[in-house]
């Protein structure tokens, strides 16, 4: 986790990739979700390379699918703008778009999340466009 805090962006990106690997195992999800990893991954969403941001989204998605407590908790105000930005940059019907949309769906379950989504210029209309035009198969994250 300390590498995600490092000033060197290359080290942060390597740490995000390592968290991605760790977040793939169910046995690691609750430990990672309760650590500082989600907040640090949120920072990578804002300032990382394309690959680091993809790794961060995928890690957050993996952590959000944990079957155990504690569940993933994210700061919607910090996470929603870069998620919508990434959604606008990626192919609308990719698995990556599906994972990003899934995270936004989770965030929309809270008042803070809905407010954050509403505050992003064009956020709701873009999310609607992605969801309306994707088939269930395209939006499947599995």
Looking at the fold, whether 3 and 66 belong to one and the same domain comes out as yes
The alpha helices in the chain, defined as continuous H runs, are: 9-23, 26-33, 37-47, 50-64, 76-89, 95-107, 111-119, 123-133
At 92 the pLDDT is 64
Please identify, among 73, 100, 129, the residue that sits at the C-terminal boundary of a domain: 73
Q: Which residues contact 50 (CB under 8 A, 6 or more apart)?
A: none
At 70 the pLDDT is 73
Please identify, among 32, 52, 73, the residue that sits at the C-terminal boundary of a domain: 73
Q: What size, in residues, is the chain? A: 142
| Domain with 105 in it | 76-142
Phi, psi (deg, nearest 5) at residue 77: -65, -30
Burial of 58 (0-12, 13-18, 19+ CB in 10 A): buried
Please identify, among 30, 51, 73, the residue that sits at the C-terminal boundary of a domain: 73
Number of domains in the chain: 2
Whole-model pTM: value is 0.83
Cβ atoms 80, 60 nearer than 8 A: no
Phi, psi (deg, nearest 5) at residue 12: -65, -40
Looking at the fold, whether 10 and 68 belong to one and the same domain comes out as yes
Q: Calculate the CA dihedral of residues 98, 41, 76, 31 and round it to 10 degrees.
A: 90
Looking at the fold, whether 2 and 65 belong to one and the same domain comes out as yes
Of residues 106 and 91, more confidence is placed in 106
Q: How confident is the model at residue 3 (pLDDT cuts 50, 70, 90)?
A: low
Return the minimum-mean-pLDDT range out of 15-19, 26-30, 46-50, 92-96: 92-96
Looking at the fold, whether 93 and 69 belong to one and the same domain comes out as no
At 142 the pLDDT is 44
Looking at the fold, whether 8 and 64 belong to one and the same domain comes out as yes
């Amino acid at each position: 986790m300390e590498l995600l805090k490092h000033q060197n962006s290359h080290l942060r990106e390597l740490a995000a990739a390592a968290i991605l690997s760790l977040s793939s195992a169910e046995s690691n999800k609750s430990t990672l979700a309760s650590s500082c990893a989600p907040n640090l991954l949120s920072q990578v969403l804002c300032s990382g390379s394309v690959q680091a941001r993809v790794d961060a989204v995928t890690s957050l998605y993996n952590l959000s699918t944990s079957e155990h407590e504690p569940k993933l908790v994210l700061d919607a105000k910090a996470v929603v703008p870069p998620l919508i930005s990434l959604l606008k940059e990626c192919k609308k019907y990719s698995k990556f778009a599906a994972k990003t949309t899934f995270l936004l769906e989770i965030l929309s379950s809270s008042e803070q999340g809905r407010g954050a989504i509403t505050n992003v210029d064009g956020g709701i209309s873009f999310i609607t466009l992605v969801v309306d035009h994707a088939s269930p198969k395209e939006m499947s994250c599995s």
